[in-house]
Amino acid sequence: MLRVIAGEARSIPLKTLDGLDTRPTTDRVKETLFNLLQNYIYDCRFLDLFAGSGQIGIEALSRGAREAVFVEKNKKACDIIEQNLTKTKLIENACVLKKDVISALPFLGSEFDIIFMDPPYALGVEKEVLASIKEHSVLAEDGQIIIEADLNRDFSFVTDMGYEIIKEKIYKTNKHVFLRS
């Protein structure tokens, strides 16, 4: 069962999409992620790409993010994000975009302090998404990007794109790569 771990919506259970189309981040991994981000969440603008159930952006809102934008192309997943936002009473500070990430990025129009992306591992779209984030100035000057990825995914290409890996957190089956521009 997914739930909000901390903040104003603490312990509220969240719905998730049935089937194998999404792989929700486990509570343990989510808790570790937000422990690493705790000094950056309050009053930030948070962008949740490939949002799935919306649990990462909802956790950010629950912990004090000013705003969260969720980008997800699956209609059923978008419906679940909206249900979760309503259930947690966090919908006022949220925007759900039913769009493909690459087509959504040019229209976001403003800089985000934290961008979290968890694309389907098999797609291998990280490089294309990072290029679009840079091209459309989606990341704030002091912002950071967190990518959830397969353990074997190589991110050495990011330095050629003008990004710096500031941290890498390895878990049993996946990892979080933290980038700055």
Mean pLDDT in consecutive groups of 10 residues from the start of the chain, 181 residues: 88 80 73 94 97 96 98 96 97 97 91 96 93 96 96 96 96 95 91
d(CA 174, CA 14): 22
Alpha-helical segments (H) within 25-174: 27-41, 55-62, 75-88, 101-104, 126-135
pLDDT at 121: 87
Q: What is the pLDDT of residue 33?
A: 95
User: Which pLDDT score is estimated for 23?
Assistant: 62
Instruction: For residues 13 and 29, give the distance between their C-alpha atoms in angstroms, rounded to a whole number.
Output: 17
CB atoms within 10 A of CB 152: 8
Topology of domain 2-16+24-180, per CATH?
Answer: Rossmann fold (3.40.50)
Tell me the CA distances in angstroms from 123 to 10, 24, 118, 150, one per residue in order: 33, 17, 11, 11
DSSP state of 16: -
Name the pTM for this structure.
0.95
Q: Where are the domains of the chain?
A: 2-16+24-180
